[in-house]
Structure 1
Amino acid sequence: MCGRMAITLPHEAVVEMFGAVPANDLPDTPNYNVCPTVNVPVVTSDDGVRRLRPMRWGFIPHWYKKPNGGPLLINARAETIAEKPAFRAACRERRCLLPVTGFYEWYRDGDAKPLPWFIQRQDGEPLVMAGIWQDWEQDGAVISTCAIVTTGANEAMARIHHRIPVILTAEDWPLWLGEAGKGASKIMKSAPEDALLFHRVGTEVNSNRAAGATLLDPIA
């Protein structure tokens, strides 16, 4: 599961990291509280040319009559992505990468108030999540949309939540983007146990209106 994230990377750094051509209308960064339905910077590959583009986080199936015409699809399960009508074509033809600083997850213990955690890479490098995308069109309006691919949590993540985004290393990027042939299904797996760093953050992030770098500050 991934329902909130932080994106603090300058676009110039992302462009250099992926060798991508940037769009002119990328969303502002840093954003320490990225919520569903907002635009996020996404890396795609078109005929071998990587592009950094803005996309709405919240995949819109082609049969929706309006953007909110059905459930909000921010995640796609790796186990069923190839069969689900909403996702199967995108899984084959339109895969993307979402480079972020990290993501938030909430630990729920019975009826107690959910407690937010921030998850990032252990080595401090950008965390690159697997995604799928498609353009949704209605009455001449086109919205580029995306969803994050998730899988079963590794043991470390399972202490907080049973799902985790599919996190890809640089070696995996060409295969996921379709630049290195077929076989992307084999990299839809959980991150190694030692790959991620977890820390508790304040409940301020429970509000989608919260902002600022202090949202990432660890608490005891």
Structure 2
Amino acid sequence: MCGRYAVRRDPAALAAEFGAADRAEGLLAPDYNVTPTRTVPIVVERATATGTERSVRPVRWGLVPTWAKDTTSGPPMINARAETITTKPAYAESAARRRCLMPATGWYEWKPGDRRRQPHLCARRDGASLAMAAVFSAWWPPSSTAPPLVTCAVVTIEAVGELAGVHHRMPLVLPREAWSAWLDPARTDAGELLAPDPAVLDELVLSTVSPEVNTMRNNHPGLLDPVDPLPEPAEQGALFDS
């Protein structure tokens, strides 16, 4: 899964990296400890009067389907499983017509059951941004003329290799040559685009990072720095000696 990640580049730098226009006015970036429901940058490609435009836009992380009655029922839908994204009602329409990329320096993960709460960071070896496959949706308030709430969710797959030793799910990271197909607003069949590229997985590196990541209010560049793993907790002894 992906429940926390980092974006160290501002919208202008992301626009240059992804060959897009910067349309992320008012977005606060960078963000080294992105949490669900935060406003985040996405890369989209939409039709215009003269063709298509690729742009960086601000949206809220945690997808709200177009047909939802309100925005507060249930936990934020931050992840969408690749295995069911084209058939599950909450995501199917977005998978067909509203795909995007979520740029990330890396994502944080924790081993289930680890009492130390040791955070791990998965990032590219070369320091470039990851392109996490994602979908978005626009929700209009009923009986209102207010602008729509645009939200997004990360597409996840089964984790492989070293990453599977930390968590059984991971984001679907797309190589540069797959960006155009994924973003193409005219392409409605995403099935062939949901398979991971082994070459991308070879570019990822996993490191342990500071337990400061565990506290959401901590937000600084040092959270990305590799650190030594926390010591294993001592086994609790018997309450009474025999």
Task: Classify the TM-score, shorter chain.
Answer: over 0.9
Q: Which residue of 1 aligns with 2:31?
A: 31
Aligned to 1:140: 145
> How has the CA–CA distance of structure 1 residues 92 and 38 changed in structure 2, closer, same or farther, with 3 Å as cutoff?
same
State the shift of 1:132 in Å. 0.3
Judge conservation of contact 1:26–1:41 (CA < 8 Å) in 2. no
Report % sequence identity: 42
Q: Scaled by the length of structure 2, what TM-score is found?
A: 0.84
Alignment map for 1:44-63 (pairs within 5 Å): 44-47=44-47, 48-63=52-67
Aligned to 1:190: 196
Gaps of 5+ in 2: 229-242
Classify the secondary structure of the residue corresponding to 1:87: helix
SS at the partner of 2:132?
Answer: strand
Paired residue for 1:213? 221
Deviations 1:15-52 (A, max 9, x none): 12233222252421121101110111111111221121
Q: Distance in 2 between matches of 1:175 and 1:187?
A: 8
Supply the distance in 1 between the matched residues of 2:124 and 2:224 (Cα, whole angstroms).
14
Specify which of 97, 101, 104 is matched with residue 97 of structure 1: 101
Query: For 1:204 and 1:114, how far apart are their aligned partners in 2?
Result: 10
Paired with 1:26 and 1:42, the residues of 2 have a C-alpha distance of: 14
The 8 Å contact of residues 154 and 190 in structure 1, kept in 2 or not, is answered as: no
Aligned residue in 2 for 1:13: 13
1:17, 1:114 → 2: CA distance? Answer: 33
Higher Cα Rg, which structure: 2
The TM-score normalised by the length of structure 1 is: 0.92
Judge which range, 118-127 or 158-167, deviates more. 118-127
Q: Residues 112-167 of structure 1, C-alpha deviation per residue, up to 9 Å, x if partnerless?
A: 23321011012221111000001111133311100000001111210111111010
What's 1:80 paired with?
84
Matched-pair contact (CA < 8 Å) for 2:61–2:153: yes
Structure 1 gap segments, 5+ residues each: none
Question: What amino acid maps onto 1:140 in structure 2?
Answer: T
How many corresponding residue pairs?
219
State yes or no: 1:113 paired with 2:121. Answer: no
**1:131 aligned partner:** 134
Give deviations 1:86-109, integer Å, cap 9, x for gaps: 00000000000111111101112x
Q: Distance in 1 between matches of 2:145 and 2:74?
A: 20
Q: Deviations over 1:176-196 (max 9, x none)?
A: 012684653223233534221
Is the strand fraction higher in 1 or 2? 1
Q: Name the CA distance, whole Å, in 1 between partners of 2:217 and 2:17.
A: 30
User: Which AA in structure 2 matches 1:88?
Assistant: A
Alpha-carbon spacing, 1:207–1:50, altered in 2? closer, same or farther (3 Å): same
Matched residue of 2:17: which SS? helix
Q: 1:3 and 2:8 equivalent?
A: no
How far apart are the structure 1 equivalents of 2:219 and 2:46?
Answer: 34
Following TM superposition, the consecutive aligned residue runs of length 4 or more in structure 1 with deviations greater than 3 angstroms are 179-184
The question of whether the paired residues in 1 share the 8 Å contact of 2:96 and 2:189 is answered with: no
Secondary structure, in 3 states, of the residue corresponding to 2:181?
helix
* Cα distance change of structure 1 residues 33 and 151 upon mapping to structure 2, 3 Å threshold: same
